[in-house]
Amino acid sequence: MADNTILVIEDNEQNMYMTTFLLEKAGMKVVQARNGLEGLELALAIAPNLILLDIQLPVMDGHEVARQLKSRDQTAGIPVVAVTSYAMAGDREAVLQAGCEGYIEKPIDPENFVAQVSRFLPDR
């Protein structure tokens, strides 16, 4: 995988650890943000190849982060994938409507997580 930088916006330390571990083990660079506003600011600053976005976040929720990312020229083209435990009817539609290109359910499956994420990376 060619020098892919992934911004992970996640407030749960265990989820952040597992996500970061799996992605770094696969050779990707991970930048971490622990709330929605920090994630938005980092996305604007570093222009990652992909953003993994929790929906239940402090300061600014994931739906608002996705809408903000998609409304700005600098970040509109960056794929955003919701990684969330929201699995009720309508939740997938809500994250896609907010601007996310994809949806990965928590708890993540360590066996398949990198493959799931890689599908959304540009220039695979």
Where residue 100 falls among pLDDT bands split at 50, 70, 90?
A: very high
Q: Which token pair is 116? A: 């799931």
Where residue 122 falls among pLDDT bands split at 50, 70, 90?
A: confident
Residue 124 resides in a domain: no
Segment 23-41 mean pLDDT: 97
Residue 59 resides in a domain: yes
The dihedral through the CA atoms of 93, 9, 109, 28 has a sign that is: positive
Say whether the peptide bond before residue 122 is cis (omega within 30 degrees of 0): no
For residue 10, the one-letter residue type is E
Domain that includes residue 25, residue range? 5-118
pLDDT tens digits, one per residue of 55-91: 999 999 999 999 999 999 999 999 999 998 866 778 8
> Are 39 and 7 spatial neighbours (Cβ–Cβ below 8 Å)?
yes
**Structural domains counted in the chain:** 1
**Secondary structure (3-state) at 124:** coil
Q: What is the CATH number of the domain that holds 73?
A: 3.40.50.2300
Residue 107 has pLDDT above 60, yes or no: yes
Residue 82 resides in a domain: yes
Q: Which token pair is 3? A: 């020098």
Residue 123 resides in a domain: no
